[in-house]
Every structure is written in C-alpha cells, then in structure tokens.
Amino acid sequence: MTASQLLLTTMGGLTNAAYLFIVSAGLSLVFGALRVINMAHGSLYMIAAFIAAVAANALGAGLGFWGGLVLAIAVTGAIGALIEIVVLRRVYREEHLVQLLGTYALTLIIAGLVRLIFGPNLRNTPAPALFSGNFHLAGDSYSVYSMFMIVAAIAIAAGVYAMLYRTPLGRNIRAAVSDSELLSASGVNVARLFTTVFVIGAALAALGGVIVAPSQAVTATMDADVLVLAFAISVIGGLGSIVGSAVGSVIVGLVISFGLQNGSTNQFALAFVFIIMVAVLVIRPWGLFGTAEQ
C-alpha cells in the first residue's frame, strides 16, 4: 500500500466514522440514561435519510439539504417522543428481554411503513452546493462532502459534550445515568427528562441519517445495516460512553475502509468488525470505556 493509498483509505475510514459516531452517540446516550437498548434507533436514522433524499430532490441541492435537515429532525424527534411516551414508559421496569422485543417490534413497523411510503427503490441525494465537488491534496482527489461529514461529526461531538457537562440538562442526564431513582427523589421530573433524552437520541439518529444521505444510496435496509454497526461500536467502546462511541466509531470506520480496500478481504470487511467486537468483549465484556454492570 502506497502512502497516497494509505491516506485515501484513512480518509474513507474517518468519513465512515463520522456518520457512525453521530448515530451511535445517540444510541449510547439513550442507553446510558434510560438503560434501554433502542433497536429502533436505526429506523429513526432511515426515516431521516429518506426525508433528506426527498427534500433534496424536490427543493434542489441547496435549500433541500438544509430544509430536509430541519424537517428530518422535527419529524424524527416527534416520532421519538411518541415512542418514548407510548412504548418505552411501559417497559422500563420490565426485563431487558421485553425492552428488546418491544423496540424490535418498532423496527419491523417502521421498516414496513417506510417501504410503504417511499417505495422499495433506492434514492440518491445531491450534496448541498456549498460542499459539492472535490479538492486535491498530494496528488489525490477528495470529496469536499467527506470533509464536511468529518467536521460535522466533530462539531456534534463537541456539542454533545458541552450539553452533558455545561448545561443543567446535562447534569440531570449524568445524574440519571448513575441513579435515576435518587434523581427523582430530589425533585427532578424524570419522566420528562427521559423523554427529552430520547428525543435528543432520535435527533442524533436524524442528523446521522441526513448527513449520510448524500454519501451513499438511501435504501429500505439501511436501518438494519447501521444498527448492526452502531451496536458493534457501542459494544467495542462501551455502552453509555460518548468517548467510547467516538473511539469505537473510528475503529469500525477504519476497519471497514481498510477491509474493503483490499480485493481479497472485501467480502469479510464486516466480519472483521465483528471479530474485533468479539475480541473486545472477551477481554473487557463491558467495552473499552464502559463500566462493568452488576
């Protein structure tokens, strides 16, 4: 592998890491506070991607992208609130088995509805005019949009971090992570807090879905594809840890990129991700940055 191939592949890996981080950060945030694995997280991401694709094709690459972003967050956030209030509230006290099955049911429902509404065909989304085109570096050509994805992910990471550590909401979320009952006893409306956290998680899924749309085909199976990767990332990084999501995303993004790069291994790129996941779990069952649960 030459130096320029190395750079290209690494950039590809970081582009993967960018959208994967945005999605898995939402999954992890929700798990940290609510202790629920939201199987429907990928479904929210898919809804957002379809909205972005439809908006960009209808309104043009400029307005369509930004309009689609706002619309996608609004719609996905509303669906998120609905899911939390109608479904999750009833299963918090149940075994994790019930929670898995309940949110799994949502993935089936949403996937069916998306196919019904948007049809089975895949869609392409034009990148916003501001970030279209390529630039050249050391003789190689890179897409501007990839750079935008990486920058957006870093900005979102900073935003999530600031939200968690610099705002009263973040303080409550962190308190809920360590003991939600105690938090409830100290006068915080935990039910509303949980809805808020879930909506933030849904918004992150939406951001991931909109941002990824111009970089790959929008299909009706992208919910499962991203969910599986987001799980792998959360398990590698440790469920509930935002830092873990970031590190896990970079690992998974790079592994996929380098795996696909080589003709003899591209069939197994996904398998490598899961082999790493298994290896991490065998050594540290609670992930690199997670905390052991009793």
Partner 1 sequence: MIAVLRLTRDARFRWAVAALFIAFAAAIPPLAGLNELANPDASAKFEIFLGTEALVLALWAVSYNLMLGYSGMVSFAHAAYYGIGAYTVALLFQKLHLPVLEGLLVAPLVTAVFGLVTGMIALRAVRLYFSLLTLAISQVLFSLAFNDAGGVTGGDNGVHGLAVPDALNDYTTMYYFVGAVVALSLAVMFILTRSPFGAALAAIRENRERARSIGINVRAYELAVFTIASTFAGVAGGLFAVFQQEAYPEMLYWTQNAQPVVIALLGGIGSFLGPAIGAFVYTELSNLLSTKFSNQFDVLLGAIVLAVVLVAPGGLASLPRLFTTLRARLRDQAADEVVESSGESIERADLARVVRIEAIHADPIAERGEPLLVVEGLSRSFGGLRAVQDVNLVVHAGDRHAVIGPNGAGKSTLFNLITGRLRPDAGRVTFAGRDITGRPPHVIARAGIGRAFQITMIFPKLTVRQNLQYAMLAHRGLTVRPFGLADRMFRDEAMELLEAVGLGRYPELAAGQLSHGDQRAIELAISLALGSRLVLLDEPTAGMSAFETQKAMDLVRRVAQEKRLTLLFCEHDMEVVFGTARTVTVMHMGRVLTQGTPDDVRGNPDVQKVYLGELEEEAVV
Q: Minimum distance from CB of 205 to partner 1 (Å)?
A: 18
Cβ atoms of residues 259 and 272 within 8 Å: yes
Cβ atoms of residues 28 and 290 within 8 Å: no
Site string for partner 1, 135-174 (x = CB under 8 A): ----------------------------------------
Residues with Cβ within 8 Å of residue 157, at least 6 apart in sequence: 21, 25, 242, 246
Structure-derived torsion over alpha carbons of residues 114, 118, 121, 123, reported in degrees to the nearest 10: -100
Q: Minimum distance from CB of 282 to partner 1 (Å)?
A: 5
Residue 220 CB-half CA count within 13 A: 14
| Main-chain dihedrals φ then ψ at residue 142, nearest 5 degrees | -125, 150
Which residue, 1 or 275, has its beta carbon nearer to partner 1? 275
Which residue, 150 or 228, has its beta carbon nearer to partner 1? 228
- Which window, 47-55, 134-142, 152-160, 228-236, contacts partner 1 (CB under 8 A)? 228-236
Q: Is the Cα torsion angle 188, 189, 191, 197 positive or negative in sign?
A: negative
- Which window, 187-195, 207-215, 231-239, 248-256, contacts partner 1 (CB under 8 A)? 231-239
Place of tokens 């994805």: 149
Q: Which of residues 12-31 bind partner 1 (CB under 8 A)?
A: none
Residue 183 interacting with partner 1 (CB under 8 A): no
Q: What distances in angstroms separate CA 241 from CA 24, 119, 127, 186, 215, one per listed residue? A: 10, 36, 31, 25, 27
Cβ atoms of residues 106 and 224 within 8 Å: no
Residue 231 to residue 179: CA distance in whole angstroms: 24
- Which window, 122-130, 143-151, 164-172, 225-233, contacts partner 1 (CB under 8 A)? 225-233
Residue 178 interacting with partner 1 (CB under 8 A): no
Residue 262 interacting with partner 1 (CB under 8 A): no
Q: Which of residues 52-91 bind partner 1 (CB under 8 A)?
A: 87, 90-91
| Binding region for partner 1 (CB under 8 A) | 37, 87, 90-91, 95-98, 100-102, 104-113, 115-116, 224, 228, 231-232, 234-235, 239, 267-268, 270-271, 274-275, 277-278, 281-282, 285-286
